A and B are shown apart, each in its own frame.
Chain A
Amino acid sequence: MENTPLLKVSDLRVSFKTDKTHYVEAVKGVSFEIPRNKTVALVGESGSGKSVSSLAVMGLLDPNTSKIDASSRLEFEGRNLLEMSIAQRRDLCGKEISMIFQEPMTSLNPVFTVGFQIAEVLRLHMGMSPKQARARAIELLDEVGIPNPKQKIDAYPSQMSGGQQQRVMIAMAIACEPKLLIADEPTTALDVTIQKQIIDLIAALQKKHHMSVLFITHDLALVGEIADEVIVMRNGEIREAGDIHQIFEAPRDAYTKALLRCRPSLDSRPMRLPVIDDFMKGGDEPAITHQERSRGLTGDEEIVLEVKNLGKSFYTREGLFGKKEFQAVKDVSFKLPRGKTLGVVGESGSGKTTVGLTLLRLHQATKGQAFFDGKDILSMSEKEFLNYKRRIQIIFQNPYASLNPRFTIGQILLEPMRIHNIGANDDERTAMAYQLLKRVGLPEAAFHRYPHEFSGGQRQRIAIARCLTLKPEVLVCDESVSALDVSVQAQVLNLLQELQEEYKMSYIFISHDLAVVKYIADQVMVMNHGEVVEMANSDELYRDPKHPYTRTLLGAIPRGLTH
């Protein structure tokens, strides 16, 4: 067996154009090797340069806006990829090096069938005839685990689920038996159970085809399941690289330690989640509290919101006069005590987001009641509900879409106060806004800035500040931390906990991330296909799940080092 590494990256430097004269360096001299037959994981948060590095290897960076430094070398089996012509590179891509991307829906061409797209790779690189290519495509679909491959081969991507689309992409990638498979966050957009299946599939294929896999992700726990070696990147540089056991058991770099510790784990619940800064400021285990926070309901707390038999159906027109009903939420009931958190867990399509939106009357409930302060808020008029609007608020999932891009932060914060007549005049309201900005950890200068100048985590904090202007009693957090990086997630979760203690707010925390929900929730409600499958105190639920669906969900959580 040769000892030369399959891919050797030396001093890779990539810069992007910001305007006519300025470049910003995204990858600042990265060097690593990928040996044969091994899985290497490239881990980092957004902005670390991990995706850019893989795109540089594949030659997918736009030469008009990006620049690879002349001193960089990308040696694939000894040949420098950067010195090859486009034609030579095209020969390699898809055949010896292939790539799968994060969003399967947008990575597949929607106007061609799945079979056509797989056969395209085979006909381009292997020179097969259409008949041969079709036969081989059916074999590949079978190998990646698509049921009924002979029928599915003529299906369009839009007719398949996310997990199936990702399998099709994997089939396209392994069609020519590549030596290196680059997987760029392949499971981030998928549910946790599907994620586990895809990870297992990639691991099995790696063994069977003797490939090397470069697995790019932001989730260090996920990496523990399949990687042999780990490279940790931050801000365009490699912080640490090494064997997986060494990384997990004895990490040397402060950032790696931080990444491992900032995620809420299923085993402990510290009063405050450690954040990156705790580790980066120096010292080995500074000021990280080990004191546990207890969560759980005793049954005699004051109930602030009681929901009974909530149901929501969506109707679509079928034919000329028909109506088709889709029951998003079937029959949900729960009680929310004051100052406590209810976690709602489920996969996509379970109806958990719809429950939150219906409680705020952003969707019209089909049936059911929600008693807030003794009154049913779902059946009162719009005018009456306006008074209750300030007492129940929501933070949305996408921090990039929930703030009006044309408003300054000041306008965003002042608007709810103006609508509900909080504060005597604008000066008072501005003072309150400054106070809130400080409370959520943003500078006062933010008041005059626009949302696009802030990062995802900062925008989420602005959204929290906006809700706080009204001092609500119930706050619905609809996947509020799902789109954030691990370190930022920890900061926002800590902030939410502090605010809950200070303002005695009740949270309805909707998420698909079980570890986060266990950390922050007192009571957990598991939903599947619109129904409540199980509801219990969070510690009990995770320790002793009763329903089989709950057990499947818990079993699919990536646990870190397992092999």
Chain B
Amino acid sequence: MTPQNQPKVSPGLWALAWRRLRGDKIAMGAMAVVIAFLVMLVLSFTGLIAKDWDAEVGVNYAPPTFIGKAGGGDQIGGVTEDLGPPPENPYDPLKDIIKELRAQSGPEAAAGADAPVDDYGIKDPLEKEMAEIRAELSKSGATAAAAKQETLPFGADKWGHDIIKKTIKGAETSIIVGLVAAFLATALGTLFGAVAGYYGKWVDDVFNWFYSVFTSVPYLLLILAVAAVLQQKGVMTIILILGLTGWTGTFRLIRAEYMKHKAREYVWAADAIGATNMRKMFVHIFPNVSHVALVQISILVVSFIKSEVILSFLGFGVPVGTVSWGSMLNEAQNELILGKWWQLTAASVAMAVLVTAFSMFTDALRDALDPKLK
């Protein structure tokens, strides 16, 4: 059945594309960055890192370590230095009378005669019990005030969450939203485009009508409108919103490709040997357009990460308990006025790095898959 000498398997489209991609240094660099982010995503998703991102480990607005304590610190609920006893009030009318009374109550009181008055000589009847309670509490560490750090590697937000951990967790949210929504949008766009381009006539008209409706509304307003309607907030909701509105670009491309390929002779040949319409669409034509779909996924990932950030920034995105880069930017709005720049910088830099790397990778991918080069 099989030939005696095993023939060397000749490279298909993907192997050839991979070969071309490998030769492009910038593409490999960009791909390395993207893979690093994806690894981080997997680790974060499985809980290996950044699991305790919402533990309040730092003082409020703790500054990044490299600028030290000088950068921040706020009096609200934070540990303050012991300032010592309050200074003597020179206008206190009872000053002299208190001094005499103290001198009368005993030698140990006389020693502290000049100490400023805060309890008016009345001894605390529960002093011993209070001391015991305080000792117990400090043993169990419930007074987290003593454990709070004053600086964190990249600072803390309003509640003392570590920014680095938040960024990692936010990356997880944003990238997952980007990836899943991109797949959903591309899948929908490809399916609609295939059916519209292949069948033509009234089927094409129906899909074109939907396409016109979706593209005539400005994109941002469209997603905000859908977000406002869908009451339940959550990551799934955002994915649905972005996926259900983002299929239009892919639809247009894939439809054009299907219309072009349908008239090609290999599709007629498939018809002549008895292939059904389904088979022609998805077994014959689809492998010839899949590279277009792949590049679209790549473009959409970048676009949806940005869209998610915008949605969360405006408050329509992730719910309160979840962190994403958008929510970080949302909080950064108020912080910036106070001069706390670290949350904004962390989120922006992370996003910029990923988006740039992904975009460069998409460009290189498109060049590598371009069939004209063959």
Q: What is the interface of chain A, defined by CB distance below 8 A to chain B?
A: 20, 357, 360, 362, 386, 389-390, 393-394, 396-398, 401-408, 415-416, 419-420, 427, 430-431, 434, 444-445, 447-450, 452-453, 463, 466, 470
Q: Report which of A397, A405, A449 forms a contact with B10, defined as CB distance below 8 A.
A: A449
Q: Please provide the chain B residues from 6 to 36 with a CB less than 8 Å away from any CB of chain A in the complex.
A: 7, 9-10, 12-13, 23
**Interface residue B88 (Cβ < 8 Å from any Cβ of A):** no
Interface string of B310-321 (1 = CB under 8 A from A): 000000000000
Are A430 and B1 neighbours in the complex by a CB distance under 8 Å? Answer: yes
Q: How far is the CA of A357 from the CA of B5 in the complex (A)?
A: 41
For the A-B complex, the count of residue pairs with Cβ-Cβ distances under 8 Å equals 83
In the assembled complex, which residues on chain A have CB atoms less than 8 Å from the CB atom of B274? 386, 389-390, 416, 419-420
Q: Is the CB of B272 within 8 A of A427?
A: no
In the assembled complex, the Cα of A293 lies from the Cα of B149 at a distance in Å of 101
Query: Which residues of the other chain, A, contact B371 by a CB distance below 8 angstroms?
Result: 405
Q: How many residues of B contact A (CB 8 A)?
A: 27
A416 near B273 with CB under 8 A, answer yes
A500 to chain B, nearest CB (A): 19
Taking the closest CB of chain A, its distance from the CB of B44, in whole angstroms, is 37
CA distance A525 to B266 in the complex (A): 28
Task: Pick the residue among B12, B265, B275 that contacts A401 (CB under 8 A).
Answer: B265
For B337-374 the 0/1 string (1 means CB < 8 A from A) is: 00000000000000000000000000000000001001
Check B10–A470 contact: CB distance below 8 A. no
Complex partner residue of A389 from B3, B264, B273, B374, CB under 8 angstroms: B273
A422: shortest Cβ distance to chain B, in Å? 11
Output the least CB separation between A388 and chain B (Å): 10
B282 at interface, CB cutoff 8 A: no
Contacts known (A419-B274, A427-B1, A452-B374); A402 close to B10, Cβ less than 8 A: no
Cβ of B268 under 8 Å from chain A: yes
A362 cross-chain contacts in B, Cβ below 8 A = 268, 271-272
- Shortest beta-carbon distance from B35 to chain A in Å: 26
The answer to whether B13 touches A406 (Cβ under 8 A) is yes
Given that A360-B272, A393-B273 are known contacts, is A431 also in contact with B284, CB under 8 Å in the complex? no
Are the CB atoms of A406 and B272 closer together than 8 Å? Answer: no
Contact B272 A389 (CB under 8 A): yes
Most B CB within 10 A of own CB, among A386, A394, A463, A466: A394
Q: Is B67 an interface residue (CB 8 A)?
A: no
Chain B residues with CB under 8 A of A398:
265
Nearest-CB residue, chain B, relative to A395: B269
Instruction: Beyond A402-B266, A402-B268, list 14 extra A-B contacts (CB 8 Å).
Output: A389-B272, A396-B269, A402-B265, A404-B284, A405-B288, A408-B12, A415-B275, A419-B273, A427-B1, A445-B3, A445-B7, A448-B7, A449-B7, A450-B10
- The reply on B101 being an interface residue by CB < 8 A is no
Q: Is the CB of A463 within 8 A of B13?
A: no
Q: How far is the CA of A466 from the CA of B279 in the complex (A)?
A: 17
B270 at interface by CB-CB < 8 Å: yes
Query: Per-residue CB proximity of B279-297 to A under 8 Å, as 1/0?
Result: 1000010011000000000
List A contacts of B284 (CB < 8 A).
404
Report which of B9, B272, B287 forms a contact with A394, defined as CB distance below 8 A.
Answer: B272
Task: State the CA gap A120–B200 with chains docked (Å).
Answer: 43
Q: Tell me, in angstroms, the Cα distance from A452 to B271 when the chains sit together.
A: 21
Q: How far is the CB of A228 from chain B (nearest CB, A)?
A: 41
By beta carbon, the residue of chain A nearest B261 is: A404
Complex CA–CA separation, A394 to B9 (angstroms): 29
Please determine whether B287 and A453 come into contact, CB atoms closer than 8 angstroms: no
Q: Is the CB of B269 within 8 A of A419?
A: no
Which residue of the partner chain B has the closest CB to A20?
A: B23
Beta-carbon contact of A404 and B273 below 8 Å = no
A448 contacts B9, CB within 8 Å?
A: yes
Can you name the residue of chain A whose Cβ is closest to the Cβ of B9? Answer: A448
Nearest residue (CB) in B for A393 is: B272
Nearest A residue to B268 by beta-carbon distance? A362
**B265 in contact with A396 (CB, 8 Å):** yes
Q: List 8 A-B contacts (CB under 8 A).
A: A394-B269, A396-B268, A396-B269, A398-B265, A404-B266, A419-B275, A434-B3, A463-B269
Residues in A whose Cβ lies below 8 Å from that of B272: 360, 362, 389, 393-394
CB within 8 Å of A: which B25-84 residues? none
B5 neighbours in A (Cβ, 8 Å): 445
Contact of A404 with B288 at beta-carbon distance under 8 Å, contacts A430-B1, A431-B1 already known: yes
- Taking the closest CB of chain A, its distance from the CB of B63, in whole angstroms, is 51
| Residues of chain A with a CB closer than 8 A to B266's CB | 401-405
| Chain A residues positioned under 8 Å from B12 (CB to CB) | 406, 408, 450
Give chain B residues whose Cβ lies under 8 Å from the Cβ of A466.
269, 273
B9 CB contacts on chain A under 8 angstroms? 448
Q: What residues of B have a CB within 8 angstroms of the CB of A393 in the complex?
A: 272-273
A448 cross-chain contacts in B, Cβ below 8 A: 7, 9-10
Nearest Cβ in chain B — how far from A474, in angstroms? 12
Chain B nearest Cβ from A215, distance in angstroms = 31
Contacts of A444 in B (CB 8 A): 3, 7
Determine how close the nearest CB of chain A comes to the CB of B374; give it in whole angstroms.
6
Q: A394-B269, A444-B3, A450-B10 are in contact. Are A406 and B275 (CB under 8 A)?
A: no
Question: A431 CA to B1 CA in the complex, in Å?
Answer: 5
B291: nearest chain-A partner, CB-CB: A406
Name, among B2, B9, B273, the residue most crowded by chain A CB atoms within 10 Å (CB to CB).
B273
| Chain A residue contacts of B265, Cβ below 8 A | 396-398, 401-402
Q: Residues of A contacting B269 with CB < 8 Å?
A: 394, 396, 402-403, 463, 466
User: B10 — which chain A residues lie within 8 A by C-beta?
Assistant: 408, 448-450, 453
- B287 contact set on A, CB distance < 8 A: 404, 406-407
Q: Which residues of A contact B271 (CB under 8 A)?
A: 362
Q: Pick the most buried of A20, A398, A419: most chain B CB atoms within 10 A of its CB.
A: A419
The residue in chain B whose Cβ has the minimal distance to the Cβ of A392 is: B272
Within 8 A of A (CB), among B222-266: 264-266
Residues of B within 8 A of A450 (CB): 10, 12
Contacts of A463 in B (CB 8 A): 269
Closest 4 CB pairs of A and B: A406-B287, A445-B7, A416-B273, A402-B265
Closest to A404 in B: B266
| Closest chain B residue to A431, Cβ basis | B1
Name the distance in Å between A418's Cβ and chain B's nearest Cβ.
Answer: 10
Residue of A nearest to B279 (CB): A419
Question: How long is the Cα–Cα vector from A431 to B2 in the complex, in angstroms?
Answer: 8
Q: Which residues of the other chain, A, contact B1 by a CB distance below 8 angstroms?
A: 427, 430-431, 434
Once the chains are docked, how many angstroms separate the CA of A393 from the CA of B284?
A: 19
CA distance A434 to B7 in the complex (A): 13
Give complex CA distance A427, B1 in Å. Answer: 7
Closest CB in chain A relative to B258 CB, distance in Å: 14
Chain B residues in 8 Å Cβ range of A407: 287
Q: Are A415 and B268 in touch, CB under 8 angstroms?
A: no
Least CB distance, B153 to chain A, in whole angstroms: 44
Report the bound CA distance from A50 to B270 in whole Å: 36
Q: How far is the CB of A358 from chain B (nearest CB, A)?
A: 12
Contact B273–A406 (Cβ < 8 Å): no
A470 to B5, CA, bound (A): 28
Q: Is the CB of B288 within 8 A of A470?
A: no
With both chains docked as a complex, state the minimum distance between the C-beta of A469 and any C-beta of chain B, in angstroms.
8
CA distance A77 to B5 in the complex (A): 58
A481 to chain B, nearest CB (A): 15
Collect the chain A residues with CB atoms within 8 Å of residue B2's CB. Answer: 430
